[in-house]
Copies of this chain bind each other. A is one copy, B any other.
Amino acid sequence: MRRRTWKRFHPPGTSPGTLSVPAAAEGKGGLTLVTYRGDSVSERHLAAVAEVPAAPAAGENLWLRIVGHSGETLGSLTARFGVHPLVLEDVVNLGQRPKVEEFDDYLFIVVDVLRFGTNGGLEEEQVSLLLFENLLITIEERESDLFKLVEDRLRSGRGKMRTLGVDYLAYALVDAAVDHFFPALERTGERIDEVEDELLERPDRQGFEKLHGIKRDLLRLRKATWPLREAVAKLTRTDVRQVREGTRVWLRDVYDHTVQIIDIVETFRDMTAELVDLYLSSVSTRLNEIMKVLTIIATIFIPLTFIVGLYGMNFNTQAGPLSMPELNWRWGYPAVWVLMLAIAGGMLWMFRRRRWL
């Protein structure tokens, strides 16, 4: 089934902030609470949001992971942490533009990752982050390996992840999300190269339809990455309180990556536009060539066929001296051959002179 390229919506006029989790998505939510500090990390599955401790111990950071969209779980976020209903609406309505919104207590970040799925098509995956003082809540659309490596780093204690605050963790997650675009871009680049080779060798319908598919994917990538850049840029701005000064330099690096991604997407778009031109010109060149062969063969034989038709007429040679006397001439038949060869030769000479051969 084709995933829509636009967001889910409810009937116009519905009360805003209404949580309408689709039945299919409901009930698969899983809660994990990761508590970490400089020297330790512990993981615990929760049954409900209410189990999250009111205030973490000093020096401790909490990461609450919510997987799947359970109406009940999400609803309790408002009660427990004062999350605005509109935020939850955005969490649930997939296909959001990536964005960053500041609230008094927390920062709301939505990121949309595009990856090539196992079936070869681009798949979208929305991740929402709520960044509080010592608490990071992430809400993922479904179970996936998006943040596998970040989890491993946190567990293993490599790098400075544990010693820095939750804003650094948020950065690491956004960074991982953004980096997931690179394999998708590399794959797209390979597909473009393949199609180019194909079109240069044999411009046909199939290659063009592949190209059409690539262009559609690029449209989606483009639509996903431009707002992503804006969102990350907003994170790096100095007036965002939830992000510490030290984390900003790392976010600038993520920002550079988004710019890079956009650069690549735009370059790919230019390249595919190029290939469309190439394809169309190939098709018309090919038509040209075929027409040339037809023209040459036809124009040579049309007069000859007329001549042989001429001497196939049944005029009575006895009717008068001008009534097809050629038929009875001794050299009539060879003369006709000479005439025909002369015409064919003349035509060929003319074609060559006009550079049609």
Name the distance in Å between A353's Cβ and chain B's nearest Cβ.
13
Which residues A64-92 have CB closer than 8 A to chain B?
84, 86, 89-90
Would you call A267 and B330 a contact (CB within 8 A)?
Answer: no
Query: Which residues on B sit within 8 Å (CB–CB) of A342?
Result: none
A327 to B158, CA, bound (A): 96
Would you call A315 and B333 a contact (CB within 8 A)?
Answer: yes
For A182, the closest partner residue in chain B by CB is B9
Stretch at the interface among A28-36, A118-126, A205-213: A205-213
> Chain A 194-221 against B: per-residue CB contact (8 Å), 1 yes, 0 no?
0000001010110011001001100100
- Known contacts A267-B5, A287-B287, A150 near B319 by CB under 8 Å: no
> Chain A 11-22 against B: per-residue CB contact (8 Å), 1 yes, 0 no?
111111000000
- Known contacts A13-B179, A175-B16, A295-B290, A271 near B219 by CB under 8 Å: yes
Stretch at the interface among A42-50, A53-61, A248-256: A248-256
A260 to B163, CA, bound (A): 39
Which residues A159-179 have CB closer than 8 A to chain B?
159, 161, 172, 175-179
A232 to B16, CA, bound (A): 16
Would you call B6 and A185 a contact (CB within 8 A)?
Answer: yes
Would you call A216 and B271 a contact (CB within 8 A)?
Answer: yes
Name the distance in Å between A346's Cβ and chain B's nearest Cβ.
12
- Known contacts A16-B175, A303-B297, A328-B319, A216 near B334 by CB under 8 Å: no
Query: Which residues on B sit within 8 Å (CB–CB) of A177?
Result: 12
A281 to B211, CA, bound (A): 12
Is there a chain B Cβ closer than 8 Å to A238's Cβ?
no
Would you call B208 and A285 a contact (CB within 8 A)?
Answer: yes
Which residues A294-327 have CB closer than 8 A to chain B?
294-295, 297-299, 301-306, 308-317, 319-320, 322-324, 326-327
Q: How large is the interface on A (under 10, 10 to 19, 20 to 34, 35 or more residues)?
A: 35 or more
Would you call B301 and A303 a contact (CB within 8 A)?
Answer: yes
Is there a chain B Cβ closer than 8 Å to A97's Cβ?
yes
Would you call B314 and A306 a contact (CB within 8 A)?
Answer: no
Name the distance in Å between A272's Cβ and chain B's nearest Cβ.
10
A343 to B268, CA, bound (A): 48
Would you call B298 and A267 a contact (CB within 8 A)?
Answer: no
- Known contacts A6-B264, A276-B277, A306 near B308 by CB under 8 Å: yes
A303 to B178, CA, bound (A): 64
Is there a chain B Cβ closer than 8 Å to A288's Cβ?
yes
A264 to B97, CA, bound (A): 11
- Known contacts A179-B9, A216-B274, A292-B290, A202 near B259 by CB under 8 Å: no
A-B contact pairs, 27 of them (CB 8 A): A6-B260, A9-B182, A9-B183, A9-B186, A12-B149, A13-B148, A13-B150, A86-B253, A99-B256, A101-B252, A280-B284, A283-B285, A283-B288, A291-B294, A291-B295, A297-B298, A297-B299, A297-B303, A298-B298, A302-B302, A305-B305, A308-B310, A309-B312, A315-B326, A316-B328, A319-B328, A319-B332
**What 9 pairs between A and B have smallest CB-CB spacing?**
A13-B149, A12-B179, A308-B309, A320-B330, A311-B313, A13-B176, A312-B312, A9-B182, A294-B295
